[in-house]
């Protein structure tokens, strides 16, 4: 079991009538790489600044190893923050930038030099020690900022959008370097980003935020493969999300399978009934005969099912192995090098049999096809295809 380093309890921050952080409770583990992920304005940077002491909470508590740190100023907390701009001093060279914090603290000259040399080696900047900020690339300036923060030996390093100013190729390289650096120094990293790929590739856990709240906290794989709600499903990667109508509750309260009717797809079976749906089933089973009769008289509640584009495949005709399939027309083809992304539409169908006035509608699906063969024939706009998928690749979203 991992040791909790920081406990955040019911933390809130308001600016006038705006709530930036809304009743957040979160445990941060010792030596973990945690990423706060979300769109602009979701509260992730405010939460990071609350941790660093650059903002005071409106309500709630932050404890580090059992000690309340809310009243401590930033320089008294065992944390250091790397800002989005890196804030590398232009009048100091790399060595003096890194040494700045130690000199302010009055560390002896010989000890300061030893630790600066260690930090330069750690971030692979020893050969550039005498250069100034304008002589450095974006990635090199970022490493200067990291070294300057790490040399103070904090228990936690806070990083606000550390890679946002870098080009795509360098950003990918620095993602790997950050992970290796965190493993080397063995301290807790808390990183803010709006980039889903960045979060999934670096983090041990990801906290997805919306409107100041954490909507889901999980490992990258669980977050991607089993999102708990529509916001997380839609925000993290591409996702096909479709309104559905449950056809019936299964007899077993914890049954994993559920049949749905979906406009444009017809009837489908989903093998992933989430906890909330299981609770509904359990309540239905434990209800009295009168309650069950009343429930049967009500129309089934709406739901949402989802499937990732890469879980969908295309063929010229269905086969027996295709658990679910539907005909479709290719409306758009986008080539991205490693993959081709299709937008297809299916023929109109009725989503429910309970509404006689309902108009038939089709479904629009996004499909991702890996370009695994150099000479493979490319799909074309207007082509008629069969889209097929497996029931176990679909998920039900709680809300």
pTM higher than the cut 0.75: yes
Q: Give per-residue pLDDT as tens, 233-275.
A: 999 999 999 988 888 655 444 456 788 889 889 888 888 654 4
Q: Give per-residue pLDDT as tens, 271-312.
A: 865 444 544 454 445 555 544 554 444 344 568 999 999 999
Residue 397: predicted pLDDT: 86
Cite the beta strand spans of the chain per DSSP E. 4-15, 18-29, 33-37, 59-64, 67-68, 79-82, 156-160, 188-193, 205-210, 213-218, 240-246, 258-262, 266-270, 303-307, 313-315, 324-335, 339-345, 364-370, 384-389, 395-397
Alpha-carbon torsion (10, 195, 185, 31), positive or negative: positive
Domains and CATH numbers, the chain: 4-227 (3.40.50.300), 238-399 (2.40.50.140)
Cα separation of 349 and 264, whole Å? 5
Q: Give per-residue pLDDT as tens, 371-389.
A: 888 777 788 999 999 999 9
- Average pLDDT estimate for 122-140: 86
Mean pLDDT (the chain, rounded)? 84
DSSP state of 308: -
Residue 161: predicted pLDDT: 86
């Amino acid at each position: 079991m991992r040791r909790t380093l920081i406990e955040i309890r019911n933390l809130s921050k308001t600016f006038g009538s705006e709530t930036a952080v809304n009743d957040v409770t979160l445990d941060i583990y010792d030596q973990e790489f945690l990423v706060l992920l979300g769109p602009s304005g979701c509260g992730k940077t405010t939460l990071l600044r609350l941790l660093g002491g650059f903002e005071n909470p409106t309500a709630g508590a932050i404890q580090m190893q059992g000690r309340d740190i809310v009243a401590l100023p930033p320089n008294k907390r065992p944390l250091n923050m790397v800002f989005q701009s890196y804030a590398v001093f232009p009048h100091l060279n790399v060595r003096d930038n890194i040494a700045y914090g130690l000199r302010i603290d009055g560390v002896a000259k010989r000890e300061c030099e030893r630790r600066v040399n260690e930090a330069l080696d750690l971030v692979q900047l020893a050969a550039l020690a005498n250069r100034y900020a304008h002589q450095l690339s974006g990635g090199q300036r970022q490493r200067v900022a990291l070294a300057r923060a790490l040399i103070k030996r904090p228990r936690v390093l806070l990083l606000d959008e550390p890679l946002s100013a870098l080009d795509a190729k360098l950003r990918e390289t620095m993602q790997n370097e950050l992970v290796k650096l965190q493993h080397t120094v063995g301290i807790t990293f808390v990183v803010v980003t709006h980039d889903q790929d960045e979060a999934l590739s670096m983090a041990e856990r990801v906290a997805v935020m919306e409107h100041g709240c954490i909507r889901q906290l999980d490992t990258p794989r669980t977050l991607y493969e089993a999102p708990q709600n529509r916001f997380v499903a839609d925000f993290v990667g591409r996702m096909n999300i479709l309104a559905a109508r449950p056809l019936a509750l299964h007899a077993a309260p914890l049954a994993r399978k559920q049949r749905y009717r979906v406009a444009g797809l017809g009837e489908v079976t989903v093998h992933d009934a989430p906890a909330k749906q299981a609770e509904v089933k359990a309540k239905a089973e434990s209800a009295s005969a009168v309650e069950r009769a009343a429930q049967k008289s009500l129309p089934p509640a709406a739901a949402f099912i989802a499937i990732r584009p890469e879980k969908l495949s295309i063929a010229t005709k269905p086969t027996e192995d295709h658990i679910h399939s539907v005909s479709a027309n290719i409306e758009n083809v986008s080539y991205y090098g490693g993959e081709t992304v299709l937008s297809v539409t299916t023929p109109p169908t009725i989503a429910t049999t309970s509404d006689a006035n309902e108009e038939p509608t089709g479904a629009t699906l996004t499909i991702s096809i890996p370009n695994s063969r150099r000479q493979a024939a490319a799909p074309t706009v207007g082509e008629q295809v069969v889209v097929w998928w497996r029931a176990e690749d679909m998920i039900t979203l709680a809300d």
